[in-house]
Amino acid sequence: MRKFVISMLLAASCVPVLAADVPAAPKMDGGACSLTPAPRQKDYPWMSIARWRQFYDEDVAVADKGGVDLLFVGDSITELWNEQIFQRSFGGWRTANFGVGGDHTGNLLWRLQNGHPEKLRPKAVVLTIGVNNFGFCDATPEQAYEGVKAVVELLRKIYPDARILLNAVLPYGQYTSSPQRVKVVELNRKVAGLNDGQHVFYQDYGLFFLQP
């Protein structure tokens, strides 16, 4: 995409540069992106870096206050819970929602390392993460899995007594054969292996979101 945009800009400005002279955009390292803790480093139309920082600061304040029994952690699937449904389902718990739209595993690792999560003592953690590794890290299913695994291991280290509900990545892509759908299936197949029946419990709700 970047190479295409560069070519269009050159054509529009009538600069006589051959396509062969335009340097290729560096390929993103999906493995490093998935495993390297890092804050959000790019503005998007749907969320600026400043807004991401605001989410982070709010979560730090919650962690500093403490008193959380049920902790939700992840990306937009976690962040965008319907408030009425959330309260109806979990209103009896002392909850905290640490979901941030657009986060991949590297972003979440950074938040867990820097956001004072150790000040909380949740009885249960609900984790949904990994889909954005495909879009923002250009990760393979194996690389995305390594990122999810790292997040689970860090949560186990921070909260050794908590039970972790590890949710599968929800399907996306219109058809069963869509490349996106195939990647998600492969990622979830690997992530399912993190279920140990004692501390980590894997659940896949994907079929409920698909047409017959």
Write the pLDDT tens digit of every residue in 73-118: 999 999 999 999 999 999 999 999 999 999 999 999 999 999 999 9
- Asked whether residue 203 is domain-assigned, the answer is yes
> Looking at residue 7, what is its pLDDT?
39
Quote the pTM value. 0.86
Instruction: Give the Cα separation of 70 and 38 in Å (integer).
Output: 25
Determine the pLDDT at residue 212.
65
Which CATH number characterizes residue 53's domain?
A: 3.40.50.1110
CB neighbour class for 116 (10 Å; exposed up to 12, middle 13-18, buried from 19): middle
d(CA 125, CA 91): 16
Q: Which residues of the chain have pLDDT under 70?
A: 1-27, 212
The pLDDT, as a whole number, for residue 174 is 84
Domain span including residue 166: 29-209
Examine residue 13 and state whether it is found in any structural domain, yes or no.
no
User: Does residue 5 sit within a domain?
Assistant: no
127: left (phi over 0), alpha (psi -120 to 50) or beta: beta
Q: Is residue 188 domain-resident?
A: yes
Report the pLDDT value the prediction gives residue 27, as an integer from 0 to 100. Answer: 56
Q: How many domains does the chain divide into?
A: 1
| 8 A C-beta contact, residue 138 and residue 180 | no
